Amino acid sequence: MLPALRIRDTVFEWGKQTYVMAIVNVTPDSFSGDGLAKGIGTSGFDPVREAVEQVGQFLQDGAHIIDVGGESTRPGGIVVSKEDEIARVIPVIKAIRQTYPEVIISVDTYKAKVADEALRAGADMINDVWGFLADPEMAIVVSESKAPAVLMHNRSKPENAQLLGNLGGHYIGMDYDDLMKDVTNELEISIRAALQAGVSSDKIIIDPGIGFGKTVEQNIRLINELDYFKKLGKPILLGPSRKSFIGYTLGLPPQERVEGTAATITIGIDRGADIIRVHDVKVMARVARMVDAITRHPQ
């Protein structure tokens, strides 16, 4: 049994239930089409107000964590400066914190300056898609704040990204000597970076990085063999929601991937996922509760 993690008034007891992380995209170019910033310029549109309303619905639907992001990390996405990212996410984080004082807020960023500003604005944890390896200052920021962090595996390379119509971007030609061992070894590098900076071991969560530098087939294998990563001794976050490997498997655009996402969530929980990161909170929270009832609490 992994040690429990307390964030504000919530105690995460790993293995007892699946926790739901809801996605709030403050971006104009999210692959899933739900980026709040795309409405800027529309008469009467306020992305901060929209985000707060969205969070209220997510909490009602069963979310445990709200993950706020200001840069799309989709294949072929546009890199955003730290100044622009801060301008997008900080007002949203402050408004969420003011409206919902006890909600757990995560910030989805790989930039140390953004992380620092977000934590000061009221965020509780960091979700780093480059696992502390993109910005050498990130581990220091997290250590000094004593915040928990999600360390994700990532081998994304623009030259390996392929875009295809409404199915979106995916990666091709991603060569691994041994997929499961390689991802594990590279996650261990991120974990060491965190520990060496002084991040507490019980505040590290790992994510195999579904959709980040993996082919369709590799993403499917990672989910099917997710329990392989339990050897790292950390809670596991799984983020397959609406991603292109589902679209390419089913031939469907992002807005029609709810059933495919539900299937990946079901298998992922059965294989050991502790947190699921999702867009469709109400549906996936119900899926998680049902799978928990079958796999974690058999009658």
Instruction: Report the catalytic residues.
Output: 243, 277
Residue 8, token pair as written in the block: 């504000």
Q: Are strands 5-7 and 149-152 parallel, antiparallel or unpaired?
A: unpaired
149: helix, strand or coil: strand
- In sign, the C-alpha dihedral spanning 25, 248, 154, 233 is positive
Burial class (CB in 10 A: 0-12, 13-18, 19+), 212: buried
Contact between 7 and 124 under an 8 Å Cβ cutoff? The reply is yes
Give the integer Cα–Cα distance in Å for 70 and 202. 27
Contact between 174 and 184 under an 8 Å Cβ cutoff? The reply is no
- In sign, the C-alpha dihedral spanning 102, 93, 200, 278 is positive
> What residues have CB less than 8 Å from 205, skipping those under 6 apart?
148, 149, 150, 151, 234, 235, 236, 237, 274, 275
Only one residue has tokens 């070894």, namely 185
Of 50, 57, 125, 31, the residue nearest 91 (C-alpha): 50
Contact between 5 and 11 under an 8 Å Cβ cutoff? The reply is yes
Burial class (CB in 10 A: 0-12, 13-18, 19+), 221: middle
